[in-house]
Amino acid sequence: MRLKKAQREALLSWIAEGLQTDEINKRAAKFKPRFNVSTRLVTHYRKTRGVKLDAIQEAGEADALKTGLALKENRVAKLQLLADCMLADLLDQDKWWLLQVKGIGRGDDFERVEYFEFNRAEVESLRGVLDDIAAEVGERVRKADLTSGGKPLPRPGIDPKELRNLSDHDLAILETAAEILSRGSADQDPSVQD
Q: Model-level pTM greater than 0.85?
A: no
Structural domain of 122: 72-136
Does residue 160 lie in a domain region?
no
CA–CA separation, 78 and 69 (whole Å)? 9
Do 132 and 83 share a domain, yes or no? yes
Q: Do 9 and 61 fall within a single domain?
A: yes
Whether 53 and 86 share a structural domain: no
For residue 192, being part of any structural domain is answered with no
- How many distinct structural domains can be found in the chain? 2
Q: Is 90 in the same domain as 129?
A: yes
Same domain, yes or no: 49 and 97: no
CB 158 within 8 A of CB 97: no
Same domain, 38 and 83: no
What's the pLDDT score for residue 193? 46
Residue spans of alpha helices (H) in the chain: 5-17, 21-30, 39-48, 50-65, 72-92, 120-136, 160-164, 168-188
Domain check: are 81 and 53 in the same one?
no
pLDDT per residue rounded down to tens, the chain (194 residues): 688 888 888 888 888 777 888 988 998 998 888 999 999 988 888 888 765 666 666 665 555 556 565 567 777 888 888 888 888 888 876 778 888 999 988 888 889 999 888 888 888 988 888 888 888 777 666 666 666 666 766 666 667 777 777 788 888 888 888 788 777 654 544 544 44
Q: In the beta sheet, which residues pair with residue 147?
A: 152
